[in-house]
Structure 1
Amino acid sequence: MKKLALCLITLSIFMSCKSTKIENKINSLKYPITNKGIVSTNYFETEVKDPYRWLEDDRSDETMAWVKNQNKATYGYLDNIPFRNELKDRLTKLWNYEKIGSPFKEGDYTYFYKNTGLQNQYVIYRYKTGEDPKTASVFLDPNGFSSDGTTSLGGTSFSKDGKKLAYAISEGGSDWRKILIMNTETKEIIEDTIVDVKFSGMSWYKNEGFYYSSYDKPEGSELSAKTDQHKVYYHKLGTTQKEDRIIFGNTPEEKHRYIYGSVTEDNHYLLISPRTSTSGNKLYIKDLTIENAPLVEIIGNTDSDTYVLENIGSKLFLVTNLNAPNQKIVTVDASKPTPEHWIDFIPETKNVLSPSTAGGYFFTEYMVDAVSQIFQYDYNGKLVREVKLPSIGSAGGFGAKKEETELYYSFTNYVTPGSIYKYDIEKGVSTLYRKPDIDFNSDNYESTQVFYPSKDGTKIPMIITHKKGLELNGKNPTILYGYGGFNISLTPSFSITNAVWMEQGGIYAVANLRGGGEYGKEWHDAGTQLKKQNVFDDFIAAAEYLIAKNYTSSDYLAIKGGSNGGLLVGATMTQRPDLMKVALPAVGVLDMLRYHTFTAGAGWAYDYGTAEDNKEMFDYLKGYSPVHNVKAGTQYPATLVTTGDHDDRVVPAHSFKFAAELQAKQSGANPTLIRIETDAGHGAGTPVSKTIEQAADVFGFTLYNMGYDILPSNTENFKD
């Protein structure tokens, strides 16, 4: 008893000293001065001031100076977090294990991606198909693209015979790409680089050339200027980019903000899929076996999402949510491809369908409360079997060429690092192909799925993950993560950074909010435009559930999200600043009145609407726009805004303006900081070194503002 009493007294003194030190540090924080302008915009006879619009100019000296000064203040704060380096060291150690992707065949070779541990970018290896995989050698190493690892591989596409490779590179995290073309035998670059490519695949026609997409180069800053007329081009080998033909999109009177061209595996058809927004597409088909064949319309409106999954000669297999919110597969002949001729092949079910093909079979993945269930069908639509998965979680990669007899799929969940399984397509047998050797014991952790009521009574699923035996005492540091938009589903997956969080005794909770795709189009639409508040209500209810069930409390709760999830965090913290201790909005869409004026932002209007649509939409957007709802005299949670200076998807001006508003109006001692990564974009291709540093800063900031002066894992001796 004496020992226990001494420990409790020591802990009490420790916590008191810790609190005083943190408070002193926060009170000494001085923010850089952010000048205010007098710019305003009139919307439906309402004048809206925009004092920080000057921060939208990413090329101005004033903005660059502001970024430099903000980072100086932020890193001055972060540098004083006593356990920041401990977090970085642990993240580095845990990250340092060999990671290998699923093998795939192209031409005479089998390829796979590999990272030895801490390489900034994955490397592509290959070996002769049929030979020992141990003979594999480096084929393409993106780590040599730039000295600091900020130039990444942005996509690859092999010619039909595998003898040529088109690959895209991204510089500084930008969505703008360059395409290089390689002879895969000699590894030599054989053509001039294709430049100014954005939001593009690369789809080969035979071995002669490929289709790709891009916008005209915008006037002004290529990182923020509006781009809203996408085009599909065809590049024929042996010609210059200037000679590339425009296949679709050269119609200024009709905005198609995203257009993609793809060729069927048998080289029979070209498929063109134009979109005006991120949801809904038109669909056209062209017979490439007939010279000068016209583009034939399959669907001439954007009321559904429809694409061609497979074809056998002229018989097309289409995936659609037209009159089927959870998607189905239909068949039709290419000679009469319009919807009135469609025949159901695999009908809609109560679960969302995501199909693929491999080895002459269809594989249908269904989301059942956000976890995977896989079935195998033959080309007559007959169910062959359910694919037995290793556990409850997320499976992916059920795709291969028609002639293949095996495929490789991945499996993961919140406590299981991604493993690869080899699947015998005819026998239906899975065998473990590769399991990572990682310094993390999954057996010590558990995930629980719960269903909680939102404000309007809708049941929302959430998966809560933490160490086994965790005491529900309301004092567990907790990160609540969400997205809730663009039909994107949050399914269970392992994260090295989240593993480190949970090692510290932290809880990681993921809520499957409306606006996502977990329950199909109706679930998505329930979180869009004039129903967007449902998403925020779902997230707030998730936080309230965690608090009510004593997982955590407001003093130990952080909310986190990126991109549309950054909007989620910004809206939640401005509506309910009392609910959480820490807010972590990353690369967020935060100015809802002007988001559509930057880059391809106008394409997000299906989810958001725009302030120019009508007064009702303007009022609604202004009512939750984070930049416009920061109120003076309010105590907001400790906030670390994160963004990248090369983010040309959600331009950093969103984050700049939000941080400036918070710093000007914050009441109380909670810090409001912005961490601006240089030579970084929206997230894809970020070097491992930068990812580790950012995670250490985010977790360090979070725990520090929850009252910790040493890592929670280092206080376990006080719990005896």
Structure 2
Amino acid sequence: MAQGSQPPVAVVRNVTDTFFGTQVDDPYRYFENRADPEVVKWMKAHDQHARSQLARIPGRNALLEKIVRYDSSVSDRVAQVTRVPGDLYFSERRGAADNQFKLYVRQGLTGADKLLVDPEAIEKKTGQPHAINWYSPSPDGRLVAYGLSSGGSEAAVLHVMDTRTGKAVGRPVDRADYGGVGWTADGKTLVFIRLQAMRKGMPETMKYQHSQVLAMKVGQPIASARPVFGTAIKGLGIGAAESPYVQLTPDGRWALGYVFNGTQREVGLFVAPQRGVLEGNPRWKRLLAAADAVTGVAYFDDTLYMVTHKGAPRSQVLAMSLKAPDLKTAQVVVPSSDRVVVNVAAAADALYIETRDGNVKRLFKRAHGAGAAGAATAAVEVPLPVEGSFELAGEGIRSAHPALPGVVIDLQGWNRARQIFAVAADGSVTNTGLQPAGPFDAPADVVATEVKVKSHDGAMVPMSIVHKKGVALDGNNPTILWGYASYGITEEPFYSVNRLAWLDAGGVYAFANPRGSGVYGEDWYKGGFQATKPNSWKDFIACAEYLVAQKYTRPARLGIFGGSAGGILVGRAMTERPELFAAVVPAVGALDAIRWEVSANGIPNIPEFGSVKTEAGFRALLAMSTYANIKPGTAYPAVLLTHGVNDPRVDVWESTKTAARLMAATTSGKPVLIRLDFDAGHGVGSTKKQQLEERADIFAFMLWQMGVPGYQP
């Protein structure tokens, strides 16, 4: 492929740090200053170079056209469905011709959709892409609070709208990135999380510290809001880096104050009478600390249900009355078993329990007030129509409502597109019809092969291999291996029409669950955590070797792909075994571990990865840093780094520094490209056009480097 004019070579300006007697070189430290004209010039030049090289790949445009055709084959993509009493359904929808998700409400499952928030209309006015980060309807659905941000920044501004008139209520409130909106039963007061104001001279590491939960009368100015939970409330012992969140129970009795220590899964929890909190006289009482190992909570009628892994590596569910709260006397209502208990949600009829067998989810329900666990009160499985995945609770997910029976869940599998199902109180499961069906929802020729791979120390690592039926095991299949393996997040069966384009090109797509994921519970997660993090990429390498040994592919046709914290996985697999891969794609990758703590989001991630301020933490971070482990004179595979410049989670300099160091180090002659999007961030809020074009570039890059005919210059 003709190279044309070459982009500038980054000048080395080495900075050496010493940690516990170990010197660490940082030749491109100055890249961390994004305002430096030299850095800006380098970024723009290399982005233009990457895009020009990708655009010259034969077959790239046809691949994009196919991806767009697959994506547009369904009339609407529907997400984030929320039920509200009165038979109201809120949802985010993106039509086949739309570029961004919009917020709608409808009366009944078959009612007409009413458009509430249109980010595309805002983009036309401002010239910048906008996205809905979160939304929360009032208890009667007459109002809705939503967060809106631009350019992938996730810097959400809180708005309140009257859903009947479509008019704004009150003034917008900035620094509402986390949302965390809760409503009083009458819909007249809301609580929400607000980040502190960043004053001139404050280090960016302070951005997510000292956030507060504020209470504000709807329609009143932000100056009238008062803090009700957080470091502003003295005597609670909440740390500066801990994030507060308040849930107002719908019955008006209690306020539940959650404390999140950054990305740590275990939560702290306080309780107070709701009335006192709203009147400015909160009487908080601590119920849980992180040591209690509670990772999920649901409330119903004075009862708190808690998912905990304390003494139960695959977790169990406890129940405790808030009338006399004492964790020591909490009853086990769902005991530990071979299944992993993931989360719970409380509906009017029952407690619903999300569990996992391997990477496949199972749904159970248990009647409220059934007492302690026993044969007569055991949770009953709800058979689901698809062997796959769903979530009962999580960011933007509200499957249950305490005033309504049953749950509404998204359900999908490796070869079954996501559909939205209603689970009734009698256990019946029906498709709501909210997600329109498409012609490619259930490809008959796509299958998933589930395997377990022996790792370096004998651990058996689960991997799902998605491929066309009758795939030839001759070592010639272009193959992508994906992994993440952080925060206990598990790769569960999910459907992607984009993936069909890769399979159509003769490809195989494999998904690994190394240690660091939560596929087998707490022990598996902690097996790839801080000092044990090397197990994550060693497990990943073992999965790559399995794909080669079983002749799904060979090194010349094997690529690895990971995003965000998955950058640790693919980056360190690359630096450990560069000869094993043809192509590597870290997307918004966490690659420069030693420097995480100087970034705003690095502080919340200390519980997951550790700190350079301790020797054990430093040693662990040095081991997981791709940037620090790049060795000069090494034949590295082809690398494509992608990143949104406005990323608030992983700073773009992690990718630019790593790209510069790889370009200087590699002797293979294979390209190191960095594709930047100056109107995007971590991927949250990216438009359809941004997403599909990036995916086409990644697939085309892989096929080019794997030597697949039709993609060679």
| TM surpasses 0.5 | yes
Give the deviation of 1:221 after TM superposition. Answer: 9.8
3-state SS in 1 of match to 2:502? helix
Q: Which runs of 5+ in 2 are unaligned?
A: 371-376, 393-397
Q: How big is each residue's C-alpha offset from its partner over 1:418-442, in whole Å with a ceiling of 9 and x where there is no partner? A: 1223333225343573552134651
From 318, 338, 343, give the equivalent of 1:350.
338
* Alignment partner, residue 373 of structure 2: none
Report how many residues are paired. 684
* Alignment partner, residue 245 of structure 2: 260
**8 A Cα contact 1:529 1:608, kept in partner:** yes
* Alignment partner, residue 198 of structure 2: 218
Give the deviation of 1:391 after TM superposition. Answer: 3.0
Q: How big is each residue's C-alpha offset from its partner over 1:99-145, in whole Å with a ceiling of 9 and x where there is no partner? A: 2347543354333332221412222333334xx82533323322222
**8 A Cα contact 1:357 1:399, kept in partner:** no
* Alignment partner, residue 395 of structure 2: none
Measure the CA separation in 2 of the matches of 1:459 and 1:223: 44
* Alignment partner, residue 387 of structure 1: 382
* Alignment partner, residue 98 of structure 2: 119
> Structure 1 residues 142 and 640, CA, compared in 2 at 3 Å: closer, same or farther?
same
> Structure 1 residues 374 and 308, CA, compared in 2 at 3 Å: closer, same or farther?
closer
Measure the CA separation in 2 of the matches of 1:128 and 1:374: 27
> Structure 1 residues 222 and 192, CA, compared in 2 at 3 Å: closer, same or farther?
farther
Give the deviation of 1:212 after TM superposition. Answer: 1.6
Give the deviation of 1:675 after TM superposition. Answer: 0.5
Give the deviation of 1:602 after TM superposition. Answer: 1.7
Report the residue type matching 2:268 in the other structure: K
* Alignment partner, residue 649 of structure 2: 649
* Alignment partner, residue 459 of structure 1: 460
**8 A Cα contact 1:200 1:260, kept in partner:** no
3-state SS in 1 of match to 2:197? coil
Report the residue type matching 2:360 in the other structure: V
Give the deviation of 1:31 after TM superposition. Answer: 4.0
> Structure 1 residues 260 and 102, CA, compared in 2 at 3 Å: closer, same or farther?
closer
> Structure 1 residues 221 and 32, CA, compared in 2 at 3 Å: closer, same or farther?
farther
Report the residue type matching 1:318 in the other structure: M
* Alignment partner, residue 374 of structure 2: none
Report the residue type matching 2:225 in the other structure: D
Are 1:329 and 2:314 counterparts?
Answer: no
**8 A Cα contact 2:638 2:670, kept in partner:** yes
* Alignment partner, residue 192 of structure 1: 171
Measure the CA separation in 2 of the matches of 1:189 and 1:238: 9
| Structure 1, 206-215 or 463-472: larger mean CA deviation | 206-215
Measure the CA separation in 2 of the matches of 1:226 and 1:626: 26
Measure the CA separation in 1 of the matches of 2:657 and 2:239: 32
Measure the CA separation in 1 of the matches of 2:110 and 2:224: 41
Are 1:250 and 2:231 counterparts?
Answer: yes
* Alignment partner, residue 571 of structure 1: 572
> Structure 1 residues 218 and 516, CA, compared in 2 at 3 Å: closer, same or farther?
farther
From 68, 74, 84, give the equivalent of 1:92.
68
TM-score (structure 1 length as normaliser) = 0.90
> Structure 1 residues 276 and 113, CA, compared in 2 at 3 Å: closer, same or farther?
closer
**8 A Cα contact 2:588 2:652, kept in partner:** yes
3-state SS in 1 of match to 2:682? coil
Give the deviation of 1:606 after TM superposition. Answer: 2.4
Measure the CA separation in 1 of the matches of 2:337 and 2:285: 30
Give the deviation of 1:164 after TM superposition. Answer: 1.2
| Structure 1, 523-532 or 358-367: larger mean CA deviation | 358-367
Give the deviation of 1:673 after TM superposition. Answer: 0.7
Report the residue type matching 2:630 in the other structure: V
**8 A Cα contact 2:531 2:619, kept in partner:** no
Measure the CA separation in 1 of the matches of 2:78 and 2:282: 43
**8 A Cα contact 1:464 1:508, kept in partner:** yes
Q: How big is each residue's C-alpha offset from its partner over 1:554-612, in whole Å with a ceiling of 9 and x where there is no partner? A: 00000000011012111110111011100000111111111122012122122211222
| Structure 1, 367-376 or 217-226: larger mean CA deviation | 217-226
* Alignment partner, residue 214 of structure 2: 233
**8 A Cα contact 1:226 1:597, kept in partner:** no
Measure the CA separation in 2 of the matches of 1:375 and 1:301: 26
**8 A Cα contact 2:528 2:536, kept in partner:** yes
Are 1:287 and 2:268 counterparts?
Answer: no
* Alignment partner, residue 630 of structure 2: 630
Measure the CA separation in 1 of the matches of 2:381 and 2:290: 35
Are 1:64 and 2:40 counterparts?
Answer: yes
Report the residue type matching 1:295 in the other structure: W
* Alignment partner, residue 8 of structure 1: none
**8 A Cα contact 1:102 1:408, kept in partner:** no
**8 A Cα contact 1:644 1:679, kept in partner:** yes
Measure the CA separation in 2 of the matches of 1:454 and 1:61: 46
| RMSD (Å) for aligned C-alpha atoms | 2.4
Give the deviation of 1:516 after TM superposition. Answer: 1.2
* Alignment partner, residue 602 of structure 1: 603
Measure the CA separation in 2 of the matches of 1:176 and 1:103: 23
**8 A Cα contact 2:84 2:401, kept in partner:** no
> Structure 1 residues 45 and 578, CA, compared in 2 at 3 Å: closer, same or farther?
same
Are 1:482 and 2:483 counterparts?
Answer: yes
Measure the CA separation in 1 of the matches of 2:418 and 2:673: 34
3-state SS in 2 of match to 1:188? coil
**8 A Cα contact 2:334 2:378, kept in partner:** no
* Alignment partner, residue 188 of structure 2: 208
Query: Identity over the aligned pairs, expressed in percent?
Result: 28
> Structure 1 residues 640 and 103, CA, compared in 2 at 3 Å: closer, same or farther?
closer
* Alignment partner, residue 147 of structure 2: 168
Measure the CA separation in 1 of the matches of 2:524 and 2:165: 50
TM-score (structure 2 length as normaliser) = 0.91
Give the deviation of 1:180 after TM superposition. Answer: 0.4
**8 A Cα contact 1:515 1:524, kept in partner:** yes
Matches for 1:513-528 after TM superposition, within 5 Å: 513-528=514-529
Report the residue type matching 1:677 in the other structure: D
Give the deviation of 1:303 after TM superposition. Answer: 5.2
Matches for 1:221-620 after TM superposition, within 5 Å: 225-227=205-207, 228-250=209-231, 254-279=239-264, 280-290=266-276, 292-302=281-291, 304-312=293-301, 314-353=302-341, 354-381=343-370, 382-383=377-378, 385-396=380-391, 399-405=399-405, 407-431=407-431, 433=433, 436-439=437-440, 442-614=443-615, 616-620=616-620
Give the deviation of 1:52 after TM superposition. Answer: 1.1
**8 A Cα contact 1:474 1:550, kept in partner:** yes
> Structure 1 residues 302 and 599, CA, compared in 2 at 3 Å: closer, same or farther?
farther
| Structure 1, 513-522 or 523-532: larger mean CA deviation | 513-522
Are 1:80 and 2:56 counterparts?
Answer: yes
3-state SS in 1 of match to 2:24? strand
Measure the CA separation in 1 of the matches of 2:668 and 2:196: 48
Report the residue type matching 1:171 in the other structure: S
Report the residue type matching 2:176 in the other structure: V
Give the deviation of 1:450 after TM superposition. Answer: 0.4
Give the deviation of 1:194 after TM superposition. Answer: 0.5
